[in-house]
Amino acid sequence: MKKILNWGLLVVLMMIFAISCSTQMTTLENGKKIDNRLVGVWSGSEKDQQIDGVSKKWDMTRNADGTFILDFVFTQNGRTQETQETGNWWIEGNKFYEYHEESGKTDVYTYSVLNENQIKFKSQSISVGMNNDSYEFTDTRRK
């Protein structure tokens, strides 16, 4: 009897694990995968990583359909400039892909979900020049 209960408990735990993993990922009609934990409005910032003397802040809205809107605020020598970029995002394994419509280029990052409100990204291949080969940042959930 004890063996049957242990087996039943194991089956239930495996089912819960399978369900929780499957809800994290969605496959879009185009075959690309979305990690649902990354959907939402996220904020981040960095200073001097891309260009010395430049600080950058952003809000990124990642939608469940694989589209994004990225609002940047750049500040250098007391002057501020705002820009907006749009595109598509998807994941493959632990890599995050960000295709920018404006440039026609795709940035690639490894990512790790630190908790439900923070994601750490590390550049693998990005279309803009950087001061730093190991560009890293953490996005924090706003919504």
3-state secondary structure at position 38: helix
| Tens of pLDDT, residues 67-118 | 999 999 999 999 999 999 999 999 999 999 999 999 999 999 999 999 999 9
Neighbours of 47 (CB within 10 A): 13
d(CA 48, CA 52): 4
End-to-end CA gap in the chain:
48
Look up residue 89 and give its two tokens.
């995002």
> What are the pLDDT digits (tens) for 100-112?
999 999 999 999 9
Query: Is domain 26-141 in CATH 2.102.10.10, yes or no?
Result: no
